Structure 1
Amino acid sequence: MPTEPDPILDQLPALRRYALALSRNDAEADDLVQETLLRGHENRRGIRMGGNIRAWLFTILRNIFLDRLRSRRAERRRHDTLAAIAPQAMDAPQDAAMRLAQLRGAFMDLPDDQREALSLVAIEGMTYAEAAELAGVPLGTLMSRVGRARAQLRAFEEGKTPARGLKLVGGRDAAGK
């Protein structure tokens, strides 16, 4: 007996990409998606008939992420400590894999608002208007964030701003040496 496609499960790849763009951490992205699906299931009666399930789930995911971010910041202020971030090891020594890792690092180093805007528009394929509504900012602000993010990534690609702690493939550093 064939099963009908599940509109929520169909959104898993997009939710995962968006969660990873927001959190910069594989494990946290998985947790965000899992909690989004749980809340989505618990509140499934809250979605309007014919409503945009994708936008609804993205909003849930974003709200969960922002709640966690606020909670972590409050915890840091209470304890007055910074969490140490361990550098990620790279398995493949090939130039293409190194370059991809560097570009991913440059993307993850973008300011949060620019990374989110670029992810929604360039990776998730949302229109500027959809992304602006989801991010809760005016259209012009979102467009500006996307433009600044693209400019920073272009500068990185041209060797003007190396990724944090990485040397550009080919042995050139920011000074072109």
Structure 2
Amino acid sequence: MTAIDFNHKLQYLIPALEPFAFKLTKDNANAKDLIQETMLKAFSNKDKFMAGTNMKAWVFTIMRNTFLTNYQKSARQKTFIDTSDNLHFINSTSTKQENNAFSQFAMEDIQEAIQNLDDTYSEPFMMYFRGFKYHEISDRLSIPIGTVKNRIFLARKELKQSLAPYADRY
């Protein structure tokens, strides 16, 4: 395969690479950088490509490996080593300590709010919360599915009102 043919086929793959690059990076600018780096690596390693094989898979593999290498490199840069006697590995981005007392108070308030719900609303709500589907709740409680949906909606609305102080916390 000539360099011109290789380059033409490589350029043809760019539109297919864009969604994959965005899926990996979750950022438009980083996705474009990843595509550019992938194209550079593919073109500089064209002699390693075997004619007759799947070029698209080859380029996608280059992109995935490039992304993983860059990710690992950035993770290593964020980690530093304490050179004291204990040799702790510390990740500099997670130095925040949290106190679980607030979570405990919130959980107690949530449980109290659910207990204060009328049984008419709390039973379908708790069944839904435990993973039952609307039609299963309807069958078990022998009520129409529309009533199930309405009772769950009203339970959520009432819980939202009674737990309003926590709205800006989570």
What interval of TM-score do these two structures reach, taking the shorter chain for normalisation? Answer: 0.3 to 0.5
TM-score, with length taken from structure 2: 0.45
TM-score, with length taken from structure 1: 0.43
Asked which structure has the greater CA Rg, the reply is 2
Higher helix share: 2
Relative contact order, CA 8 A, sep 6+: which one is greater?
Answer: 1
